[in-house]
Chains A and B, each alone.
Chain A
């Protein structure tokens, strides 16, 4: 093992310790008092059908409440296609 690998190993071990400490502090899974179960979830479950007029609650969240998010997801798809086309597309017999 080379000498310069020691500080890197030390930093990696430290990061693993910090992350595991954070994981140990997480609230237990599925308990009703968790911070994830706040008024936002209740609002969606109780009011989605009358605020959006849509039966499928997933669609109500994805295309109405979080419509900005979905819009930029489509832009992510567009960017991915753009990158692939720029990289791989061969112009047949045009110019140099």
Chain B
């Protein structure tokens, strides 16, 4: 998989694929899609990069230090967003009950905590994909 054409096409396409994944994550509450699908797209962009350019260069783009952080703090970010409800005197993971401004319907800033929670889930899913891939591939080599 060290083809010249493949590498050039990947270099052209992969940035847009990643931007699309981030777009799906951030627009999960106003358009079809969501944080799970967007996280998968972002993770698969890294996996495609590592498959085409080799494991070492893929690891250089996403070093183990960063995947350890995202693995650990993705779920914790979700929990912190849940604690906002408790701090405001509402149940855990409350959104409207906690008195958070929901914004105008259909805009990017609508939904209160939902977009932030979705960001946590997206990071979580992307780092799961990346970590599983790199762990299995590095064990094989």
Contacts and interface: CB of A to CB of B under 8 A. Distances in A.
Interface of A: 49, 51-56, 58-60, 62-64, 67-68, 70-71, 74-75, 77-78, 80-81, 84-85, 88-90
Contacts of B32: 56
Interface string B120-141: 1100110010011001101100
Nearest to A59: B29
Interface stretch (B15-23, B53-61, B74-82): B74-82
Nearest to A86: B135
Interface in B19-55: 28-35
Contacts of B102: 52-53
15 contacts: A53-B114, A54-B30, A56-B28, A56-B30, A58-B34, A59-B28, A64-B95, A71-B78, A74-B74, A74-B78, A81-B132, A84-B136, A85-B135, A89-B135, A90-B138
Interface residues of B, number: 39
B139 A54 contact: no
Contact of B31 (A56, A74, A75, A84): A56
Given A60-B29, A81-B128, 13 more contacts: A49-B105, A51-B96, A52-B96, A55-B105, A56-B30, A56-B33, A67-B82, A68-B92, A70-B78, A71-B82, A81-B71, A81-B132, A88-B136
Say whether chain A's binding surface is mostly helix, strand, loop, or mixed: helix
A74 B71 CA distance: 10
Contacts of A74: 74-75, 78, 120-121, 124
B112 A63 contact: no
B96 A84 contact: no
B79 to A, nearest CB: 7
A53 B78 contact: no
Contacts of A60: 29, 114
Nearest to B35: A63
A88 B96 CA distance: 43
A78 B75 contact: yes
Contacts of A62: 34
Contact of B114 (A52, A71, A80, A84): A52
Contacts of B92: 68
